[in-house]
Amino acid sequence: MKKRLSRVGISMLLAFTFLFLLAACADNQPAAPAVGEDGEVNEVVIGVLAPLTGPVARFGVAVRDGVMLYIDGFNAQGGLQIRPIIFDEEGDMGQAVIGYHSLVDQGITALIGSVTSGPTMAVVPEANADGMPMITATSTHLNVTVDAATGRVWENVFRSCFIDPFQGTKMAEFAREVIGAETAAVLFSNDIDYSIGLMEAFVERAGQIGLEIVATEVFAQDAIDYVGQLTNIAALNPDVLFVPGYVEHVALIGPQSAQVGLDAIIIGADGWDGVLDIMAEGQRSTLEGSFHLTGFTVEDETPMVQDFITRFTEATGSPPDMFSAQAYDAAMILIAAIQRTLADGYLPNTPEFKAATIAHMAATDMTAVTGHITFDQYNNPQKTAVIIEFVDGEPRLWGTF
């Protein structure tokens, strides 16, 4: 028995050694850029990191669909071809780093990704060391573009979505200036980073503009019962209640706020996207008159947005959400920068090309489907926020703010 075991052990060792050798022998040399006979670059390879399986696959698939729609449309025009290589990072930080290195080995010149903040932040230091141009469509965490330890900006990393604090600040201003609120309560989750970030920014901005915070109540990520907190809030009778949560929270907070007789106008952020879709018709009235901020609305009438919506719906069978729209914009920003870099005469996959692409991305000044985008000194987009109002149980575009 012992002998057999050791034989198994040896063969396993051998197998591992073989695998290791294979990995070591794999081609680590970046692929040479495809250059046409006339010296024109006719193909650029970019990487796309997204979770296509696993718990956050819903977001990853939405992002991939948005990116691919832009790239396919771009390639169909002829001329320069963008070749995307997609890696499924499963929503896992370790897989994201492995995926990044695998994409680098395959000769990418720029990266779109990743989707959720954790994996993106795992890749950022590696990409920064490589001087890799990088843009994420959906990672909202503050430290995606700014090093948490040193406060230094990751100059190669951009994003096409709002950051968490921005939304909290905006909604405090909206409550004070548009709704005319003088008192506000906050109901947030203390185990969701997103919710904490929004709450802190909301409270800070409220203090600056004379919006009094009368109550700050907490719920857990998997909470179902908010009646106790809402009863406390209702007793203080604030003008607005800010709920920086996701749809599964808001869909319960709405009806429960009606149960305790809360009169405040309930407001929220982009986590609310699609909340009315999961609420029964008779319960939607409990959120009547609510407002929430979002990055994108299918009600935008501009031709560019309507064209995007039509093509997206044709390609995937369902209308785009905010994530797909932001992904479409991320691809647009990156590819525009790549085109300018090529016009400067750099060859793809050289350090100079990457540095020039980063400079062109920083100078972005273009109208995309989620609004007109420029970047601030922290590489965060400066764009107008869309406000949605719930009227007659339907989300309606209130306007931009």
- What does the binding site for another protein look like in residue numbers (CB under 8 A)? 190, 217-220, 222, 224-225, 227-229, 231-232, 235, 247-248, 251-252, 255-256, 258-261, 278-280, 282-283
User: How far apart are the C-alpha atoms of 202 and 217, rounded to whole Å?
Assistant: 14
- DSSP one-letter code for 56: T
Cβ 216 to another protein shortest distance, Å? 9
User: How far apart are the C-alpha atoms of 162 and 23, rounded to whole Å?
Assistant: 39
Secondary structure of residue 213 in the 3-state scheme = strand
**Closer residue to another protein (CB): 22 or 280:** 280
**Closer residue to another protein (CB): 275 or 385:** 275
**Closer residue to another protein (CB): 44 or 187:** 187
Cβ 236 to another protein shortest distance, Å? 9
The CA-atom distances, in angstroms, between 155 and each of 189, 334, 352, 375 are: 32, 14, 15, 11
**Closer residue to another protein (CB): 102 or 283:** 283
Secondary structure of residue 162 in the 3-state scheme = coil
114 prior amide bond cis, ω within 30 = yes
Cβ 227 to another protein shortest distance, Å? 5
Cβ 392 to another protein shortest distance, Å? 17
**Closer residue to another protein (CB): 230 or 338:** 230
Cβ 221 to another protein shortest distance, Å? 10
**Closer residue to another protein (CB): 218 or 362:** 218
Cβ 196 to another protein shortest distance, Å? 11
Secondary structure of residue 41 in the 3-state scheme = strand
The CA-atom distances, in angstroms, between 146 and each of 93, 258, 277 are: 18, 41, 36
Contact yes or no for 123/288 (Cβ under 8 A): no
State which H helix or E strand residue 18 sits in: helix 2-25
Contact yes or no for 325/69 (Cβ under 8 A): no
Pairing of strands 394-400, 386-391: antiparallel
Cβ 290 to another protein shortest distance, Å? 16
**Closer residue to another protein (CB): 190 or 382:** 190
Cβ 122 to another protein shortest distance, Å? 26
User: How far apart are the C-alpha atoms of 228 and 286, rounded to whole Å?
Assistant: 17
* Among 149, 92, 158, 151, residue whose Cα is nearest residue 122: 92
**Closer residue to another protein (CB): 8 or 220:** 220
The CA-atom distances, in angstroms, between 400 and each of 52, 174, 382 are: 32, 11, 13
